[in-house]
Amino acid sequence: MRKIALLVSASCLTGGIVMAEPVLADDAKTKKSVKTTEQTKEMPEMTVTDAATTKLFPNTAKATPTYVIEGADVRTKINATTVEDTFRYAPGVLIRKRYMGDPNGTLGIRTSNSFQTAHSMVYGDGMPLHNPLRTTFSGAPRWSMVSPSEIETSEVLYGPFSAQYSGNSFGGVVNMTTKMPEKFEAEFDATGMFQTMHRSGRNETLEGFKTFIAAGDKFDKFSIWGSYNHFENQGQPQTINAAAQTTPVLNTAAQRAAQAALPRANGGQNYQLATAAPAVAYGDIGISQPITDLFKMKMGYDFTEELQGRFTFAYENRQDTVDDPNSLLTNANGTTNWGGATAAGVSANTNYYDPLFNKNIVVPGSVFGISSVERNALNYGLSLKGKISTNWKIDTTASYYDAKNHSVTSNLNPNSPQNQYKGQIVDEKPWWATYDLKLATDKFLGRDDLSFMGGYQFNHATLGLKTYNSNNYAEQTTSGLTNDNAGTTQTNAVFSQMEWRFLPDWSLMAGARYDYWQTMDAHVYDYTLPATSKLRIQNYENRDASRISPKASLEFSPNNWTFRYSFSKAYRFPIAEEMYSSQSRLNSQTIAFPGLGPEHGYFHNLMAQYDIPRGYVRANIFYDRVSDEISNTTQVVNGQTTTTFLPIDQTTAVGVDLTFQQNDFFKLPVDVMFNTTIMDKEITKNARNPILVGNQWDRIPRLQINGTLTYHVMPVLDGTVGVRYRSDSFQTLTNTDVASQVMGGTDESTFVDLKAVYKLPVYKGLKSSVSAGIDNVFDANAFENHPFPQRSYFVNASLKY
C-alpha cells in the first residue's frame, strides 16, 4: 500500500505542476530533443537536450532517462569548487562530498547508494573516470581529473537501458564533455573558500583556494588546449572520536580494586552512538588538508567538418594530510590523554575511568594517529568521433589510467608518551585500460525509419595492494610485509540496438549486450596469520562467465507530449576489491570473498514529459528488482571496523522523479528549476540472514528535493538561491542507526545555497566577472556517517579572453 500511495501522490503532483502555468504561444515548439543552437540558448538552465550527443554522433541512449547540465549554468548558479558540484541539483543523484577537495566523493544514482560506486559510470570526453577496481568510500570516481572550469556540458543517464553500457550502469552514467577552442582564448580563474567550523571542541575558520589557468588556439584543422588547476583546502575533521559508556561493576572487593586502578581520562562531551546508546565524545582525527595539482593538454584535429580526432593527456599529483588530531581528555596530572598504548609503542584498547560521567570508556591510541596520502596519476586517451560515410558515424575511444597511491599512518599520536614512530604503510597500484567502438546510422539498410547502433568494448583493470609495518613512519621505512592482495578483471563485450519508427510519433527500440567476464592472477597473502595457517597464502584460480542483457523501449510522442516505457535485464560482475581485498589495518580490517557472482536485475522506467515554452514538466516512474545484490557489510567494535562483501538474495525498489523547469517564468526575468525523487527500496528475500527481510536498503533517502531560482537582476547581474533537501536514511542494513546529528548516522538535511555573479564591462576582448556565494546559509549540522561542512563562503574572480 505504501508503494501504491507513493505513485498516486507523484501522479497527482505531476498533474498539479502541468496545470500550474498555461502553455503560452511560441513560434517554435520546444521539444526535449533541442537540436538548434537557438533552442539550446532558450533553455540554458540544466535542460534535457541532445546537444552533448548529436554534435558528432547520434544519440544512441534515447531509451534512457537523461538530464543535461550546461557548463555555463554551473558557473553562473553553483558554487562549484570541484567538478562533482556540477551535479548538486540533479534529480536522484547523491554525491557524498564530505568537504571541498574530498578524494572520496562517492556517487549514488537513484536506487544505487553512494557506497555502491560499482553501479555508476563516469566519463570525461569518453574516457572512464569511475573506479573499476574499488568500491564504497575508496571507489569514488576520479573527479579531480577534470576541472569544473573546462566543462562544456554534462549529462546524467539513469539506469542500464542502453546496450552500449555494461551492468555497471545499474544506477546510471555521467558523461562530461569539455570544451575545445575555435580561436585563440585564455582564461584565469581564482576562488577563495572559507568555512566556519564548530564541532568536537573546535571553533575555527577553515580556509582554502583554487586557481585555474588555461589557454588554447585553433590553426586551420588543428586545435590545442592546455590548463593547470591548483586546489588546496582545509576540511573539517571527518571523524569525531566517541566511545560507548559502560557502568563500573563494583560488586566485589576485587572489582572495586580493579576499578580504582584504572587510569583516569578527565573531560569529554556528552554524546551518543548512531544506535542512540550513550557515549562520550573525546576528540577528533584532525583537519583534512588536500592539495591537488592537475596538468592537462588536449589536441584535436578536424579530418572533415564532421569528423574529429582528439588526444587527451592529464597528470595529477594529489596529497592529503591529517596531522592535528584533537583530544578533549586529560590524565590525572592534567596532561593531554592520547589513548591507550603498549610499552612497545603500539595502540591498545585501554579502559579508562571518566569521573565527569562516572563511566568507563575504551580509548585506543590509534584514533589519534596522523596520516598522509599521496597519489600520482596519469590519464590519457585517443578518440575519433563523427561522420565516416554518407550515413554512418563512428565514436571510438582508447584510454589508459595508471596511478600510484602511497599512504602512511602512525600507530599513535606524535605527542603520546609511548610514541616510538611505529606505523603502517600501504602501497596501492591501480591501473585500467579500455577500448570502446560504436558505429551508428539513422538510415539503416537505406530506410529512413530504421536506426542502428553496434559496437565492441574492452575493459582491463588490475589492482595491487601491499600493506607494511613501519618502525619509523616519519622516515617512511618498512619493517615487514603484512598483506599482499592483487587481482585482475577483464571484460570483452559486443552490443547492438535498433530503432524502428513504425508510425508517425511512434518508435520501438530493441537491443542486446553480450559480456564475457574474466578474473586473472588473483591472490591474498596475509602474513599476520601463522605460517601453518591455510589462509596465509591463497592463490585463486582464474574464473570466467558470460551473460546476455536484453533491452527494449517503446515511445509515443504526440505534439508536446512524450511517453516512453523502457525495460532492461542487466548483469553486473564483481570487481577486484569485492573479491580480493583482505587487509589488516590500524583501525580497520577487510575480508575477501573470492566466490562472488554477478548481480542481476530487471529494470523498468515509464516517462511522461510535456514541453512548455522555454521549459518542460517530466515524470519518471521506475521499478527495479535486483537479485544477489552485493552489499558492503560493516561492523565497528571498539574503533575497529570489519568489512566484507555479501550478496543479498533480492531487493525491490519503486520510485518516481518529477522535474519542472522554465526560463523566463511567467515572462519574468526568472529561471526556475525544481525536482523531487521519491523512492522506497527494501530487502525482499535473504535466506542467509532472514532478519533483514523488510528492512530499508542503506544510504537511500526516501525523499530528495532540489530547486534553484535565478533572478536576472540586470543583464550583468544574476542572483541564485538553491535548496537541497534529503530525508534521513540508514547506514546499515540492520536499520539500527537511529540517532541524529552524530557520527555514523545519516540525517535529514536541508541546505540553502546562494550565489551572485556580476559581469564587468568588456575591455578589448577581455571578459571578466566577480562572484560571491554561501553554501549551507543556515549552518545546518548534518551527517552522512561523517559530518558535512558547516556554513561556507566563496569569492571568485574570472578573466577570459
Query: What pLDDT does residue 136 have?
Result: 86
Query: What pLDDT does residue 509 have?
Result: 97
Q: What gap in Å lies between CA 345 and CA 322, rounded to an integer?
A: 20
pLDDT of 9 strictly over 60:
no
Please enumerate in sequence order all residues whose Cβ is within 8 A of that of 280, keeping only pairs 6 or more positions apart, or say none: 242, 243, 245, 268, 269, 270, 271, 354, 357, 359, 361
Q: What is the mean pLDDT of residues 46-53?
A: 40
> Confidence band (pLDDT; 50, 70, 90) for 585?
low
Q: What gap in Å lies between CA 262 and CA 121, rounded to an integer?
A: 52
Q: What is the DSSP string of 38-105?
A: HHHHH--SS---THHHHTTS--TTTTS-EEEEEHHHHHHH---SSGGGGGTTSTTEEEE--STT-TT-
Cell numbers 520510485: residue: 655
Q: What is the mean pLDDT of residues 5-32?
A: 37
| Mean per-residue pLDDT over the chain, rounded | 90
Query: What pLDDT does residue 641 have?
Result: 60
CA distances from 273 to 242, 277, 358, 636 (A): 8, 5, 18, 11
pLDDT of 272 strictly over 80:
yes
**In this predicted model, which residue has the larger pLDDT, 95 or 595?**
95
Query: What pLDDT does residue 461 have?
Result: 97
Q: What gap in Å lies between CA 264 and CA 244, rounded to an integer?
A: 16
pLDDT of 30 strictly over 50:
no
The phi, psi pair for 760, rounded to 5°, reads -80, 160
pLDDT of 396 strictly over 90:
yes
DSSP three-state, residue 579: helix
Strands (E) in 323-472, as ranges, are: 326-327, 329-330, 349-354, 359-364, 371-387, 392-410, 423-428, 431-441, 450-470
CB distance 8 to 1 below 8 Å: no
Closest CA to 47 of 789, 699, 675: 675
Please enumerate in sequence order all residues whose Cβ is within 8 A of that of 170, keeping only pairs 6 or more positions apart, or say none: 112, 116, 119, 120, 159, 160, 570, 572, 599, 601, 603, 624, 626
End-to-end CA distance of the chain: 59
pLDDT of 22 strictly over 50:
no
Query: What pLDDT does residue 634 have?
Result: 64
Q: What is the mean pLDDT of residues 733-761?
A: 94
Q: How many other C-beta atoms are found inside a 10 Å radius of the C-beta of residue 558?
A: 10
pLDDT of 724 strictly over 90:
yes
Closest CA to 329 of 190, 200, 197: 200
pLDDT of 7 strictly over 90:
no
Q: What is the mean pLDDT of residues 374-387?
A: 96
pLDDT digits (tens, 9 = 90+) for 343-375: 999 999 999 999 999 999 999 999 999 999 999
> Confidence band (pLDDT; 50, 70, 90) for 39?
very low
Query: What pLDDT does residue 6 have?
Result: 38
pLDDT digits (tens, 9 = 90+) for 665-687: 998 999 999 999 999 999 999 99
Query: What pLDDT does residue 450 have?
Result: 96
Q: What gap in Å lies between CA 180 and CA 699, rounded to an integer?
A: 38
CA angle 34, 37, 38 (to 5 degrees): 90
pLDDT digits (tens, 9 = 90+) for 477-508: 999 999 999 999 999 999 999 999 999 999 99
Please enumerate in sequence order all residues whose Cβ is within 8 A of that of 533, keeping only pairs 6 or more positions apart, or say none: none
**Set of cell numbers at residue 218:** 585553433
pLDDT of 339 strictly over 60:
yes
Query: What pLDDT does residue 636 have?
Result: 52
pLDDT of 592 strictly over 90:
no
> Confidence band (pLDDT; 50, 70, 90) for 586?
low
3-state secondary structure 260-319: HHCCECEECEEEECCCCCEEEEEEECCCEEEEEEEEEEEEEEEEECCEEEEEEEEEEEEE
CB distance 610 to 21 below 8 Å: no
Closest CA to 270 of 333, 351, 363, 358: 358
Q: What is the mean pLDDT of residues 732-752?
A: 93
What is the tally of helices (H) and strands (E) in the chain? 6, 43
CB distance 268 to 337 below 8 Å: no
Poorest-confidence range of 21-35, 145-159, 376-390, 546-560? Answer: 21-35
Q: Distance from CA of residue 629 to its chain's centroid? A: 19
CB distance 196 to 790 below 8 Å: yes
The phi, psi pair for 394, rounded to 5°, reads -125, 150
Query: What pLDDT does residue 734 have?
Result: 92
Cα torsion through 218, 222, 223, 226, rounded to 10: -120
Q: Please report which helix (H) or strand (E) contains residue 8, including its range.
A: helix 2-20
Query: What pLDDT does residue 591 have?
Result: 73
| Percentage with pLDDT > 70 across the chain | 91
pLDDT digits (tens, 9 = 90+) for 173-221: 999 999 999 999 999 999 999 999 999 889 999 999 999 999 999 999 9
Please enumerate in sequence order all residues whose Cβ is within 8 A of that of 753, keeping only pairs 6 or more positions apart, or say none: 78, 79, 720, 721, 722, 723, 724, 773, 774, 775, 776, 777
pLDDT digits (tens, 9 = 90+) for 617-662: 999 999 999 999 999 876 554 455 666 788 999 999 999 999 999 9
| Percentage with pLDDT > 90 across the chain | 84
